[in-house]
Amino acid sequence: PRRVPASQSDQPVRVAIPKVLKELSKTKSERPKGRPSIHRDVNKDLTKSPQDSDIARSPSPVLSPSPTNLSVTSKGTAPSILTALPTKHTKVKAKSHTEIIGCLYTPTANIRSVIRNQKMSSPGFTKSYRNTQPPPVPEPELSSDAKGVAGVDPLMSHFLPLEEFDNSELEPCPPTSWIVMGKERGKSGTPAKTTYRDQNTGETQWRECYVLDYNEEEHTFLVEWRDTPKKQGDKGKWVKRLNLLFDIEDEEQWRDRVRQAVELRDQAEAQMRLHLYIDGMPDEHVTPIDEDQVDRILALVADEFPLAHLHVIEKSITEMRDMYSFGLKKAVFNYKFQDPEEGRRLVSLNLPREEKEPETELNDLLGTVDTPSPNYPYSRKYIQENLFFTHHLLYTTIFSIVGRWSQFADSLLCDVEMEGISMPCELDTFKNRQSNTVSRASEKLQDDWSVNTTATILNDLDDHFNFYEDDAERYRNSRMCRFFRMINLIMAYQLRTLILKSIDAYTDFLTQFKVVLPAAYNEQDDWLEEEPSDKAERVRKLAFLEVREQKKAALGAQKAAEADDKKKGKKQRAEEDEEVEEPVEHSEVCLVKLSLAVDEEKEHKGFHKRILRMCKEVNGNQPLFVIKLIANADSVIYDPLLEEVEDAVKSVYEGFFTETQEILGVGDKLFPLLNLRPFELSSVSRSELPVDLVHQLMIENKKGPLQVLALYESFEYILKIDIDSFVEEFEATNPTLEDFASQLDQLKVDQERIQERTLNEVCFEMIRVECYDIKKSLTRKVQDIARALQELLAKQAYEKCAQCDEDYAATYEAIQAPVETPEALHQLKLEADKVPLKVENLQTVFQAVTDAHRLLAGHRFSIEDRDFDLYWKTLGWPQKVQQVLEDSEFRYKENRHRFINQLREDTEELTREVQELQTQVDKCSRWSAENQLEEYFMQVQKLRAQIDECGEKMQKYNSRENLFNMPNTPWNLKELSASFEPYEQLWTIVNHVSSKFELWNMRPFENLQPDEVEMNVSQWGKTLNTLTRKLKDEGPLQIATKFHEQVKAFQPLLPLIHALRHPGLQQKHWKEIAQMVGTTDKELKPPEQDKFTLRHLTTNFDLLSHLHAIEEVSDRAEKQHKLDKQ
């Protein structure tokens, strides 16, 4: 016995059973204090009245067995303030949730205490979810037979809340999901229907409403009427689930759910009435339990008990006595209730009747039964010889083996309960559970059943059989072989029974998820070639393409008409100034074939209307598996695949065979000296499996998921799109705003179609398909594509807006620029004249930007701050430009008058300058002093600069005169320049000859450039020769003649310079030349460069007389030089 510490001692007090019985036999006054009584004195209690009994069963009232007298009596210490059935004028408050079922109910389930009824009916106790309790719905009038019948008459029925009997497993989805559905559809709530009581007429009817919220504590829904105007301060109505029917809910399933709850409540109330009726029967009708039986039961519990636990034992004995008494009363009631007269007497209580199992009639059975031969001695001898296992020892062993199988007979090789696993479950969870179940069962059979069977045979028959037999032939002809063969057959049959039982159980388990079609189901009528939303989308796309083709044809006709007008000369265009910007006219509307607007043609396999309804409506299916529809690269697949689901379902059958193959019979291990082959117990063939049934079951259950997959496969083109490439190709087509709008609208439509394609969780009979992931993947991809297009549109709009801003700023600066010159004034006038056309063109472009921003805003795209600032900055430019343009005309007139006056003054000044220049040019004809050559050259340079400056002024002033429409002033500056040109050439050449000749004679000879020298000398000679014929004045003519002679004298030196400056001349060539002129090479070509000059060669040596020979030496040197380079 367990030890329990005593409350008053450190050591537990242990009392033996005899002592306890002795204590119980004492009277209450004789018992010592602190010793609780275990049970009451039965004989003494039987003499007491129910009011004097010391055992108060319950404070609940009981009904006397007489149905005609429904008065209430109390028992024990129960208060005597209970009333009879309430009358029609008695106001009964609806039962609250705090009342426990049956705590204050009479056997007729409608009697309350007066105090409780008055308290609940008082105005201060009124409580509801809207602070105003609507009046109860009026019940229909009952017939006279139904009045006063419990469970039928409303005044005597239904005090239990109907919601307590609601089966939450029939709820299609969690309560909060109903609220989410309304929000996902963009409505004010989830559409539904509930009861509405008209305050004026008092009639109750079903009305449409919106479900707005859910109270998890009260399990109620907040509704708002659709067609009833909402009053100020009205917070809606809170209703129970069984009083609410959602529009998308199956009404028939909802009615079955309510009907089940009503039936369960009626059954519970009937059972409560029956229990209270039986409990109220007098104790005198039954015999109390024998005290010897009580002592026997105590002895079976324990030999002795701790004293601290005596109160627990006393309570347990009291409960046992009550249960015994109630059982006897129920037996008496069942016997009496079989009498029809008693049934009619208790009809007002509406008590439940026990259903009896039908007895099998044997009168109609026909057939024969084989009986053994009447020769009993012969039969007995035959039995003894053939049924040798009827031997007591063998029979006991067989009985033990068969009895041991009872431990495994009720087990299965599969789990069809799936306890502890929330349904539907993951495929891996199902496979692991089934695999673990069959593995544990097979291990238990192998390690416990087979091994223990062998051990039982060894222990029981070791003296009867020789397990060390070594002769195989003798063993095969012995009874041992027959016995062990029979044992193996028994074990094989038992294992076969277990396997077949598991197959049947698993098949029944799968049959729960069978697709059940209505009796009047017609597959042809239920078939759709195309999903309705896909058909509507296809029609919309075809209409879009048709409109696009019409626009294209209209554009082609317009272009052809324009071409004809040009040929006939009927259309004339006003030619504007080249700098005026003209609006860009598109030759054709950019109608791009939207890659998202036209889907690729796919093979349509069709859909079932029934499956489409299941995809879009909540149903009450409780599937087995849950699989996810996901995006894998550019395709839509299931995770796990449907093939894996089917394989997992069928693999359970295969596990029955694979896991039981290793379970062996007995015999090979019992006879170690015999080489016996192990006996395989598995005796079930795979042909016995319900292959066709399971295959057809999986085909029907895969139809729904396959059609859900087909619904989303139509969006695979979205997954195949490379966003960067798509945007790049789209941008290359120069799309218009209409193209952007069409593309974005198409993406928006696709996104809505994806969300409305199916429910997030589609429950079929066996498989629940979760569409969260595929919807999320497709929606995210569509949003990314739309985002890329929106960014492209925003970028183009920003570039256009930036160009508008830049053009506006340039225009603004141009018409506001300060005017310093007449040219600037004229340019300002031109710019001001162009401004209206420019503003019109820019506003056309800016309107396109505005339309783009409006399109982006319509698709909830937020532009960047820089785009926003630039847009509003550009929006204000026309007003600023217009303000400046209004002032430009006044400034133009003012500046024009000022510049005309300034021009007149400038022309007069220029006339004086030209006259002075003419005087200075005339002086040039009298220059002739050779010692002032440098000064003459400086003066002609200065005069040339002044003449050029006057020419520039003349052109500028003439152009300004043209700007102001004034006649050009003649200055004859060309004649002045022509008369000055001979003197300019003379003094320029004279200066060059004087300086160059001196430079060429004095600089090192090796630095002379023969080509440059020859070119200058030739040009000077020609010019001086021309001047000697052109000049008429004596002084300049003498200077020209003199220097012409000097140039002519220098020209014979040119061939010599070319010959001596050839790069191929070597030292040997210089020696040869030196020998010609009769000197040495060092004297001819001194090593000092400053001494080796042209003057040195011409002054000290007569080289010109040997020019021909020197040229020959130079030619040889040139040839040798070319050969060396090769």
Mean pLDDT within 709-725: 91
The pLDDT assigned to 1 comes to 28
Is residue 38 within 8 Å of residue 313, measured between CB atoms? yes
Read off the pLDDT of residues 1044-1099 as tens digits, 9 standing for 90 and up. Answer: 888 888 888 888 888 887 777 888 888 888 888 888 878 778 877 777 887 777 77
Which secondary structure element, helix H or strand E, spans residue 222, and what is its range?
strand 220-225
Cβ pair 434, 414 in contact under 8 A: yes
Single-letter code of the amino acid located at 77: T
Confidence of residue 86 (pLDDT cuts 50, 70, 90): very low
**What is the mean pLDDT of the segment spanning 946-965?**
83
List, in order, residues 6 or more apart from 1025 with CB less than 8 Å away.
1044
The residue type of 319 is E
Confidence of residue 385 (pLDDT cuts 50, 70, 90): low
Higher pLDDT, 465 or 107: 465
Q: Which pLDDT tens digit goes with each residue over 437-460?
A: 999 998 888 888 888 888 888 888
What pLDDT does residue 239 have?
Answer: 93
640 upstream amide cis, omega within 30 of 0:
yes
Amino acid code (one letter) for 642: L
- Tell me the β-bridge partners of 911: none
The pLDDT of residue 584 is 39
pLDDT for 154 equals: 56
The Cα 970–Cα 960 span in angstroms is 14
Q: What is the mean pLDDT of the chain?
A: 77
Question: Is this model's pTM higher than 0.85 or not?
Answer: no
Q: CA end-to-end span of the chain, whole Å? A: 129
pLDDT band at 125; cut points 50, 70, 90: very low
CA dihedral 353, 355, 356, 361 (to 10 degrees): 120
pLDDT recorded at residue 1119: 81
Distance CA 232, CA 164 (A): 34
* pLDDT value for 1044: 81
Tell me the pLDDT tens digit for each residue of 651-667: 999 988 888 888 888 87
- The segment with the largest mean pLDDT, out of 57-66, 553-562, 687-696, is 687-696
Residue 507 pLDDT: 93
What would the pLDDT profile of 506-516 be if each residue is shown by its tens digit?
999 999 999 98
Q: Stretch 297-312: mean pLDDT, rounded?
A: 84
**Pairwise CA distance, residues 304 & 14, whole Å:** 7
Q: What pLDDT is recorded for position 702?
A: 92
Write the DSSP symbol of residue 680. B
In this model, does residue 4 exceed pLDDT 50? no
DSSP 8-state class, residue 109: S
Most confident region among 62-66, 130-134, 816-820 by mean pLDDT = 816-820
Residue 228: CA atoms inside 13 Å, Cβ hemisphere, count?
A: 18
pLDDT top residue among 932 and 69: 932
Q: What is the mean pLDDT of residues 890-899?
A: 80
Predicted confidence at residue 338, as pLDDT, reads 81
Task: Say whether the peptide bond before residue 32 is cis (omega within 30 degrees of 0).
Answer: no
pLDDT in tens, 147-196: 556 666 655 566 788 888 998 888 888 888 888 888 776 667 889 999 88
The predicted pLDDT at position 61 comes to 34
Q: Is the pLDDT of residue 74 over 60?
A: no
Distance CA 639, CA 777 (A): 14
Distance separating alpha carbons of residues 777 and 630, to the nearest angstrom:
8
Where does the pLDDT of residue 519 fall: very low under 50, low under 70, confident under 90, or very high at 90 and above? confident
* Number of other residues whose CB lies within 10 A of the CB of residue 547: 11
Q: How many CB atoms lie within 10 A of CB 1066?
A: 12
The per-residue pLDDT for range 606-646, each reduced to its tens digit, is: 888 889 889 988 888 899 999 999 998 889 999 999 999 99
Confidence of residue 32 (pLDDT cuts 50, 70, 90): very low
pLDDT of residue 365: 59
Residue 777, pLDDT above cutoff 80: yes
- How many other β-carbons are positioned within 10 Å of the β-carbon of residue 191? 17
Angle of helix 877-924 versus helix 772-816 axis, rounded to 10: 40
Predicted pLDDT at 645: 93
Q: Which of the four pLDDT bands, split at 50, 70 and 90, describes residue 484? A: confident
* β pairing state of 607-608 and 527-528: antiparallel
Assess contact for 213 and 174: CB atoms under 8 A.
no
The per-residue pLDDT for 650 is: 92
Mean of the pLDDT values across residues 126-136?
Answer: 35
Share of the chain above pLDDT 90, in %: 18
Residue-level pLDDT at 605: 66
What does the pLDDT read at residue 78?
31
**pLDDT by residue (tens digit) across 266-292?**
888 888 888 988 888 888 878 888 888
Is residue 108's pLDDT more than 80? no
Query: Comparing C-alpha atoms, which of 305, 332, 328 is closest to residue 316?
Result: 305
**Between 67 and 1037, the higher pLDDT residue:** 1037
Q: Two tokens at 203?
A: 């009639």
**pLDDT on residue 221:** 93
Torsion, CA 1094, CA 1095, CA 1096, CA 1098, rounded to 10: 90
Please state, as a whole number, how many other Cβ atoms lie within 10 Å of the Cβ of residue 1082: 11
Angstrom CA distances, 890 to 153, 829, 994, stand at: 104, 11, 63
CA–CA separation, 750 vs 534, rounded Å?
10
